[in-house]
Amino acid sequence: MWPFNKTKQAPDPEPVPEQKALGDDPLEYAILAGGVPTGFGVSGATALTVPAVQAAIRVISEAAATLDVTVKRRSGAQEVDAPDHPAAKLLTGEANPWTSGYELIRDLVAQALTHDAGGLAWVNRIGGKPMEVIRYDPGAITVEYATTGTGEPTYRLFGKRIAARDVIHVRGPFSRCPLSLARDAIGMAKELERHGGNLFKNGARPGGVIETPKTVGHEGVIKMLNAWRSAHEGSSAAGRTALLWDGATFKAQTLNSTDAQYLENRKFQIDEIARAFRIPPSMIYSLDRMTWSNWESAGRDFIVYALMPWLRALESAFNRALLTEEERGTYRICFDVDDTTQADLTARSTAISTLISAQVLNSNEARDWLGMPPREGGDEYANPAINPTTPPQEDAA
């Protein structure tokens, strides 16, 4: 563990809000009547309550964490697995006594998707070898970039500077996370969700306007609105008879374009969120335009355009922080994405059979793709269709 103690300081007292009489601000009447939105900005915690955002983050981070990650060692013209390398044990076993390798990768990607600083973890070395990887809560590890134009980062853990080679840093383009870049789109989706909730909570009916021929003044407006709301808002008050006074009339409002196309607007915001995370809408279960013919291409798009960039970012961060300079010419850390193409077993079997017949693969290489052990004689490149391994049977007399 990193031997730091962080002294907590008493927080500054909260400022006393300015007190003013209702009606001093001309917008308060409109806000009281529900006619002015308070803005679409949302915090990170609020953004995660939008199901489409949560689904997008989970599908990328969990997909990356479920793939096999291996340490490869170059041996002549081939590469072989190096399961005994310390990095392999950390990424496939336990990153530290309380975090598995799966959780480390998942949380690094999720943090990079939701925080502008990216996903950060500290590598604890003993004798020059990585012994554990610790991902701290956001803000514990900070990063500053040189102002000289090189972009060289400086890392600090609880305020104390640490070497860059001891930090795993995964971040997206533009030095901004998708959650931050899509802040307005996510806020719009949240406001549409609230709009629907308020619509049903307040009786599932359109609003209206109370018109009066007389001047009622400030106090009269407040009393009229409070009386109307207490008598007619809420699902339990639906159907009550309205009672007005002093010649006032109630004019019901028709649905505006936003209300009439509420579902279309909500679906469009789901597509906007999917665009922000570079995933097909089908990956967050927006299946309106999905067919049997385009489902496979959508999955391929997800692998190529959404998942692979984050896998390459992870590989680069792992290679930089978990391998020494001497090892980088011989070892590399990589993800196996072949498991993501196993959905269609029939197409996979046809492709393997074709590659074996063309002598591109031998039987043992094909069996390795299927997760099966090698068999004797399987290292030979031969076409079983024209080079049978057993002699033809003689006709019976």
The secondary structure of residue 176, as a DSSP letter, is S
Side chain identity, residue 170: V
CB 324 within 8 A of CB 128: yes
Q: How crowded is residue 335: how many other Cβ atoms within 10 Å of its Cβ?
A: 23
The secondary structure of residue 204, as a DSSP letter, is S
pLDDT in tens, the chain (397 residues): 454 444 444 445 555 444 444 444 433 433 344 433 444 567 778 888 899 999 999 999 999 999 999 999 988 877 888 999 999 999 999 999 999 999 999 999 999 999 999 999 999 999 889 999 999 999 999 999 998 888 899 999 999 999 999 999 999 888 889 999 998 889 888 888 887 777 667 655 556 777 777 777 777 778 777 877 777 776 676 667 776 766 777 777 665 555 557 778 888 899 999 999 999 998 888 888 777 777 778 888 898 899 999 999 999 999 999 999 999 889 999 998 875 555 566 777 888 888 888 888 888 888 877 777 888 888 888 887 775 555 555 555 4
In degrees rounded to 5, what are phi and psi of residue 66? -80, -15
Side chain identity, residue 3: P
CA distance linking residue 395 with residue 397, whole number of Å: 6
CA distance linking residue 132 with residue 142, whole number of Å: 20
Q: How many angstroms separate the Cα of 245 from the Cα of each of 18, 147, 180, 207, 222?
A: 36, 68, 50, 19, 15
Of 96, 117, 121, give the one whose Cα is nearest residue 107: 121
pTM value is 0.69
State both tokens at 179.
């959650």
